[in-house]
Amino acid sequence: MSVLVNKNSKIIVQGFTGKEGTFHAEQMIEYGTNVIGGVTPGKGGSEHLGRPVFNSVKEAVHKAGADTSIIFVPPGFAADAIMEAAEAGIKVIICITEGIPVQDMVKAKAYIEKYDCTLVGPNCPGVITPEEAKVGIMPGFVFKKGRIGVVSKSGTLTYEAADQIVKAGMGISTAIGIGGDPIIGTPTKDAVKLLMEDPETDGIVMIGEIGGNYEAQAARYILATGNKKPVVGFIAGQTAPKGRTMGHAGAIVGGHDDTAEAKMKIMAECGIHVVHSPAEIGITMAKILKG
């Protein structure tokens, strides 16, 4: 079993023939991901990277059985692409696009709630189940198969956490980059819940950052489950000045509870093993699992 994506996922690329879509689709195919085609309106019936191009997501679902989509569509059109995927019957929608207007995402998130689908992102690195499916822009070679799940707001820290876990002699079950925008499809708690319920995940790394309350919600959920799996947590932005956006659109301290210090305190109180540096993630998890 895996979370969200696996070797059997039937993946399409929205924005398939564009520069970004082409580059990352090539990387995904080279990794061994089951990319069955892509969508570019007006280019249906043609072929790209040895895969069929469809005019719409609905056509890709009907003709090829697509169930997962990754979106490389410009910001002004990305929310429409998300809604199109949900309406067509796609079950897992992974939106990489950065810079989508907040108002567009408010509308898109409300719209897809009536459909049976999971949105990851936007402004995220994607999802990877090592040696099965890389649906995103992460460097696949960093991720080795194992039993530690990763949930992260930060793309680069997702890769760093995976590297630390592998160097500590473990590997990754599934890594989920949830994105750092103010409005995202899968908040930290929901991603952690998926891994908590996955029988092939023994421990979880949860990486957050300043701004918002996603980490606190996740921490309280973890406590409510009785801490059935060990969680190692890290919060980025420990030295960030109040009132300034740091890196992500959602990474701004609006009040005391949004600070790294406050989040780390809540996480520790809920039984999460909080580390102060990404370099401590792997060794901390290894010590916990070895008892």
Nearest Cα neighbor of 147 from 198, 189, 194, 191 is: 198
Cis peptide before 75 (omega within 30 of 0): no
Q: Catalytic: which of 48, 248, 273, 276? A: 248
Q: What is the pLDDT of residues 256-289, one digit of tens each?
A: 566 889 999 999 999 999 999 999 999 999 999 9
Nearest Cα neighbor of 89 from 111, 58, 59, 110 is: 58
| Residue 137: partners with Cβ closer than 8 Å, 6 or more residues away | 24, 27, 96, 125, 126, 155
Q: What are phi and psi of 161, to 5 degrees?
A: -60, -45
| pLDDT averaged over every residue in the chain | 94
- Are 40 and 13 spatial neighbours (Cβ–Cβ below 8 Å)? no
Burial label, 38 (beta-carbon count in 10 A; 0-12, 13-18, 19+):
buried
- Are 163 and 156 spatial neighbours (Cβ–Cβ below 8 Å)? no
| Strand boundaries in the chain, DSSP class E | 11-14, 35-39, 47-48, 51-54, 68-71, 92-95, 118-120, 126-129, 133-136, 145-152, 172-177, 203-209, 231-236, 273-274
Q: How far is CA 272 from CA 57, 175, 215, 222, 290, in A?
A: 41, 18, 11, 8, 17
| Strand boundaries in 161-213, DSSP class E | 172-177, 203-209
Answer whether residue 81 shows pLDDT above 70.
Answer: yes
How many angstroms separate the CA atoms of 40 and 253, rounded? Answer: 39
Burial label, 55 (beta-carbon count in 10 A; 0-12, 13-18, 19+):
middle
CA angle centred on 102, ends 97 and 105, rounded to 5°? 65
Calculate Rg over the CA atoms of the chain: 18
Structural domains in the chain, sorted by start: 11-120 (3.40.50.720), 138-290 (3.40.50.261)
Q: What is the pLDDT of residues 161-214, one digit of tens each?
A: 999 999 999 999 999 999 989 999 999 999 999 999 999 999 999 999 988 899
- Rounded to the nearest angstrom, the gap between the alpha carbon of residue 282 and the centroid of all alpha carbons in its chain is 20
Q: What is the pLDDT of residues 136-157, one digit of tens each?
A: 999 999 999 999 999 999 999 9
Query: Over pLDDT 70: what percentage of the chain?
Result: 93
Would residue 248 show up in a list of annotated catalytic residues for this protein?
yes
Only one residue has tokens 């989920």, namely: 176
Burial label, 225 (beta-carbon count in 10 A; 0-12, 13-18, 19+):
middle
| Residue 226: partners with Cβ closer than 8 Å, 6 or more residues away | none
Q: What is the pLDDT of residues 198-213, one digit of tens each?
A: 999 999 999 999 888 9
| Residue 115: partners with Cβ closer than 8 Å, 6 or more residues away | 86, 87, 89
Residue 256: per-residue pLDDT: 55
